[in-house]
């Protein structure tokens, strides 16, 4: 193993746990995906985000492309799908495609609740179960702190009743970080989800270390800054150091930076094309950058 790369013994064990189940997709041992735990589930560190591109598929061709994306995601060992009631028809689209593919038990379905009262929360969550066509949702997180105390109380009851697997909270705006940190100190959560990217590292200042201290699993939204990082690096060849982590695309560089954070996050890049799945899932394969290489990566992006 190169000096600038790492794969801890714990991660090596976790790798074994997330080999794809389809015999067709069985990778060589060295190709297994690095995983992180939510509760007692070991999950590959790259998931699939559904904001915008799953919101309103126009016609059969677009729906078929999304279905092919999810099928490829599963084939490569992907498990975590992140959605929300506020992403247009995304929950409904995921529910339909997962049912058609017959793969509910192979996925970790994460959604959110984002309303203003207990009554509205109960109604929105009921709707999520119906739209996702499932009896159990693996994670529901309170969206952007909205009505957080009431909604967490509902989610804890649902977890106790076995209807959801984990309880979380999300943000994607640094204006909310102070309130988010305060919430993290007073609430017990299974998961937090926050924005973090190579050029947007505010979450690493206090939120990610606090998640480690509190024992919360971490999910990362906006890992590409909605395409901002691609725009910043377009026309640039990959730096030499990308070879040290076997990154063959900018997407893999951006994602390997995220998932190598010591809080061992699961990133949920938005993916609505099968070719993005091939590209992005490769970022879940070792080697990952160590602390020294992560600093060089930051310096590179800061100088753009």
Ligand X SMILES: NC(=O)c1ccc[n+]([C@@H]2O[C@H](COP(=O)([O-])OP(=O)(O)OC[C@H]3O[C@@H](n4cnc5c(N)ncnc54)[C@H](OP(=O)(O)O)[C@@H]3O)[C@@H](O)[C@H]2O)c1
Q: Under the rule (CB under 6 A), what is the footprint of ligand X? A: 49-53, 82, 112, 143-144, 170-172, 193, 221-227, 230, 251, 268-272, 276, 279-280
Q: How many CB atoms lie within 10 A of CB 13?
A: 11
- Of 20 and 47, the one with the shorter C-beta distance to ligand X is 47
- Of 290 and 298, the one with the shorter C-beta distance to ligand X is 298
- Give me the residue whose beta carbon is nearest to ligand X: 270
Report the b/e string of 258-293 with b at 16+ CB within 10 A.
bbbbebbbbbbbbbbebebbebbbbbbbbbbbbeeb
Q: How far is the CB of 277 from ligand X (least distance, A)?
A: 8
- Of 40 and 64, the one with the shorter C-beta distance to ligand X is 64
Task: Show the tokens assigned to 135.
Answer: 């009896």
Q: How far is the CB of 183 from ligand X (least distance, A)?
A: 14
The helix (H) or strand (E) run that includes residue 94 is: helix 90-101
- Of 48 and 74, the one with the shorter C-beta distance to ligand X is 48
Q: How far is the CB of 18 from ligand X (least distance, A)?
A: 20
- Cα dihedral 231/71/94/49 (nearest 10): -30
Is the preceding peptide bond at 110 cis, omega within 30 degrees of 0?
no
- Of 4 and 206, the one with the shorter C-beta distance to ligand X is 206
C-alpha–C-alpha distance, residues 49 and 51, integer Å: 6
Q: How far is the CB of 219 from ligand X (least distance, A)?
A: 8
The helix (H) or strand (E) run that includes residue 297 is: helix 291-302
Q: How far is the CB of 268 from ligand X (least distance, A)?
A: 5
Q: How far is the CB of 163 from ligand X (least distance, A)?
A: 21
| Burial label, 90 (beta-carbon count in 10 A; 0-12, 13-18, 19+) | buried
- Of 158 and 253, the one with the shorter C-beta distance to ligand X is 253
């Amino acid at each position: 193993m190169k000096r600038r790369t790492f794969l801890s013994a714990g991660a090596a064990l976790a790798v074994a746990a997330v080999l794809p189940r389809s015999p067709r997709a069985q990778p060589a041992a060295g190709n297994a995906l690095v995983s992180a735990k939510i509760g007692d589930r070991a999950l590959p560190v790259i998931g699939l985000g559904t904001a915008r591109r799953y919101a309103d598929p126009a016609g059969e061709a677009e729906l078929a492309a999304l279905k092919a994306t999810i099928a490829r995601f599963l084939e490569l060992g992907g498990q975590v799908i992140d959605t929300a009631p506020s992403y247009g028809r995304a929950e409904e689209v995921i529910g339909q495609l997962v049912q058609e593919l017959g793969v509910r038990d192979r996925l970790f379905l994460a959604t959110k609740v984002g309303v203003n009262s207990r009554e509205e929360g109960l109604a929105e969550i009921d709707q999520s179960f119906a739209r996702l066509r499932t009896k159990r949702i693996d994670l529901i997180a309170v969206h952007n702190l909205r009505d957080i105390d009431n909604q967490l109380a509902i989610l804890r009851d649902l977890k106790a009743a076995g209807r959801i697997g984990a309880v979380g909270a999300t943000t994607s705006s640094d204006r909310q970080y102070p309130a988010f940190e305060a919430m993290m100190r007073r609430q017990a959560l299974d998961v937090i989800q926050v924005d973090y990217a190579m050029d947007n590292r505010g979450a690493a200042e206090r939120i990610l270390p606090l998640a480690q201290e509190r024992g919360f699993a971490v999910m990362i939204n906006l890992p590409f800054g909605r395409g901002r990082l691609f725009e910043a690096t377009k026309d640039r060849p990959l730096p030499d150091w990308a070879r040290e982590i076997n990154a063959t695309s900018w997407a893999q560089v951006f994602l390997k930076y995220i998932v190598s954070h010591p809080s061992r996050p699961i990133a949920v890049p938005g993916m609505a094309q099968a070719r993005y799945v091939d590209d992005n899932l490769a970022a879940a394969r070792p080697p990952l950058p160590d602390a020294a290489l992560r600093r060089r990566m930051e310096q590179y992006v800061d100088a753009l």
